[in-house]
Amino acid sequence: MLYAVETAIQLHIAELTEPLRKLYVTAYTLSSISAYLYRSTAKRLEGIFGDYLPDAEVKDFYEMEIASAGMMRSFVAVPCDVYFTVERKIARFLECALKLCNVPPERRRGSARPFCSSTCTPWRRVSSERPSSRRKRALRP
């Protein structure tokens, strides 16, 4: 599913460096940029998920994109750590976003697995071996 791959890549990219994370959070926060994202992505959502929501209108996909973008901003803003790995982040985001778009449970189940098992594992290993000093401080009693 193209949507799963695109959003997984966005979440993964945001974990690579702090400046990229800030750029994503800013894009989803500034009203001028987010308004553009809502409009352009709502059209794509209709094309991707229209079969799962046959009674939905354009406005419905616009409203769902507002919710989806809010989830994306939240997931991007919280850095991964030993407990919330990038694999778990991607899987949880996709579960929430696909549920929002009424994708049947059997299609949602494991939607992140193909992407994460091949791409995220090396990152997760490196990130857990070298946690940032900020995360170290957060874990201290």
The per-residue pLDDT for 136 is 47
Residue the block writes with tokens 């189940």: 109
CA atoms within a 13 Å half-sphere pointing along the CA-CB vector of 88: 9
- Rounded to two decimals, the pTM is 0.77
> How high is the mean pLDDT of the chain?
83
Task: Say what the pLDDT of residue 120 is.
Answer: 46
| Per-residue confidence (pLDDT) for residue 114, from 0 to 100 | 59
For residue 109, the model assigns a pLDDT of: 82
Residue spans of the chain under pLDDT 70: 112-141
User: What is the reported pLDDT for 1?
Assistant: 74
**pLDDT per residue as tens digits for the range 80-91:** 999 999 999 999
Determine the pLDDT at residue 111.
Answer: 72
Query: Cα angle vertex 110, ends 116, 126, to 5°?
Result: 20
How far apart are alpha carbons 102 and 128 in whole angstroms?
34
Q: What is the DSSP string of 93-130?
A: HHHHHHHHTT--HHHHTTTTHHHIIIIIHHHHHHHHHS
